[in-house]
Structure 1
Amino acid sequence: ELSEELAALGARVTVAACDVADLEALRALKDGLEGDGHRIGTVFHAAGAGSLVPLPDTDLAEFAETLHAKAGGARNLDLLFDRDTLDAFVLFSSISGVWGSAVHGAYAAANAYLDGLAEDRRSRGLAATSVVWGIWNPEGGAGMAAALVEETLRGHGVLFMPPATAITGLQQVLDHDETVVVVADIDWDRFATVFTSARPSPLIAELPEVRAALAAEPEPDGSART
């Protein structure tokens, strides 16, 4: 159904099952498409595999499995498209790799790798963009589990984004040819106070919204900041 919709819009569509972390399988797919006359002008790596496991509870096998599709697939795409022939090379990363997450140990590392890979490709004169996503709102809803997750994240200041908003952000990122950029809906008043509750954070300290939120927060003894 999706293929038909895309074809009606004028796109040529190929549906292929391929493990992007399998270099030779990916190479065969690429060579096959190009052999059929397809010019590959843009690459999107949108793998979202990951498990919610704190780093101390992750063994080496689980860590490797989480990195398999994210980091392994991105590395293989980089190896196969290591020439200046692309209009865009887009990696879908996560905010867990930017400011961390208690339950995203291996997943945070995998996404940080994607951000670093984008920077590395740019240094080699190649197209590269890592879009660091916040949380998308599942279209049509996903039941009670999604509602509970949304409520928990909202308590930390991370809000669900409507897909249309996320896609608009993606278009802006591509239009401006960004290398690594965060696209997320954040309640900075809430996020800043929670994120800095244990210690200050130089990562976000200079954001105007964060400075305003922390300036308005009372000191532990009840006195106001000056």
Structure 2
Amino acid sequence: GEPVRAVVHAAGLPQATPVLETTAAEFADVIGGKVAGARNLDELLGDDVDAFVLFSSNAGVWGSGGQGAYGAGNAYLDALAEQRRARGAAATSVAWGFWGGGGMAGDVELEDQLRRRGLREMAPEAAVEALCQALDANEVFLAVADVDWARFAPGFTLARRRPLIEDIPEVRALLEAADEPSAER
């Protein structure tokens, strides 16, 4: 038959356990499908594929309460994409936000938590379009999410500066408005 020319790795288990309560067994279960699966695909397929797509999560980019192991597994995928590119192989890792229509979130409590933080449900069609654009642009890593910055940014930047999002125009405006003395408002 024909050789495999492209692969999409989208394995993963959700997690909702605080880091201090995560057992070694749970940690291994949560990262196992992501890490072992991606590593095995990398070893088996090597560098001779046209597309090597890894479905990561924003939990590995900006964190997510109760998802320490899940975030670590996703950070591994992002690093693997960078490693593959460094050796000249195809790789794109997409750190997805909250997909609509079920999927990993699928847990009503987790979905409510994400919405309260300002992370909105993405239409699957829009997510697929973003993936196509990322592949066309030959991106190594990108985060794709539908974010209500007015809700998300204050909580995300409360404890310290967050250069990751500070240059987003909507976030910059929010941060500048928050820095204005209250007499000027």
Same fold per TM (> 0.5)?
yes
- The equivalent residue for 1:211 is 172
Question: How much has 1:149 moved relative to structure 2?
Answer: 4.0
| 1:16-35 alignment runs, 5 A limit | none
Q: Paired residues, what number? A: 183
Once structures 1 and 2 are overlaid, which stretch shifts more, 120-129 or 50-59? 50-59
Q: Aligned ranges for residues 68-217 of structure 1 at < 5 Å? A: 68-83=32-47, 85-138=48-101, 146=108, 148-217=109-178
RMSD: 2.1
Return closer, same or farther for 1:224/1:205 CA change in 2, 3 Å cut-off: farther
Q: Which residue of 2 aligns with 1:3?
A: none
Whichever residue aligns with residue 125 of structure 1, its letter is G
For residue 100 of structure 1, what is the amino acid of its counterpart? G
CA distance in structure 2 between the aligned counterparts of 1:100 and 1:120, rounded to whole angstroms: 22
What is the CA–CA distance in structure 1 between the aligned matches of 2:154 and 2:19, rounded to whole Å? 24
What's the offset of the Cα at 1:207?
2.0
Amino acid in structure 1 at the alignment position of 2:36: G
- Where in structure 1 are there 5+ consecutive unaligned residues? 1-36
CA distance in 1, matches of 2:176, 2:112: 26
* 8 A contact 1:218–1:224 mirrored in 2: no
Q: Which structure is larger by alpha-carbon Rg, 1 or 2?
A: 1
Unaligned runs of 5+ in 2: none
Instruction: Please give the alpha-carbon distance, in whole angstroms, between the structure 2 residues aligned to 1:41 and 1:204.
Output: 35
Amino acid of the residue matched to residue 164 of structure 1? E
**Does the 8 Å contact 1:129/1:180 carry over to 2?**
yes
Separation in 2, partners of 1:224, 1:213 = 15
- SS state of the match for residue 94, structure 2? strand
- CA deviation after TM superposition for structure 1 residue 222, in Å: 4.1
Question: Quick one: distance in 2 between partners of 1:129 and 1:215?
Answer: 34
Structure 1 stretch displaced more, 57-66 or 116-125 = 57-66
Equivalence for 1:51? 15
Relative to structure 1, the CA distance from residue 190 to residue 87 in structure 2 (aligned partners, 3 Å threshold; closer, same or farther) is: same
Offset at residue 151 of structure 1 (A): 3.7
* 1:224 to partner: Cα distance: 4.9
Contact 1:137/1:163, CA 8 A, preserved across alignment: yes
Pairwise CA distance, 1:63: 0.8
Equivalent position SS for 1:174: helix
Q: Distance in 1 between matches of 2:98 and 2:165?
A: 19
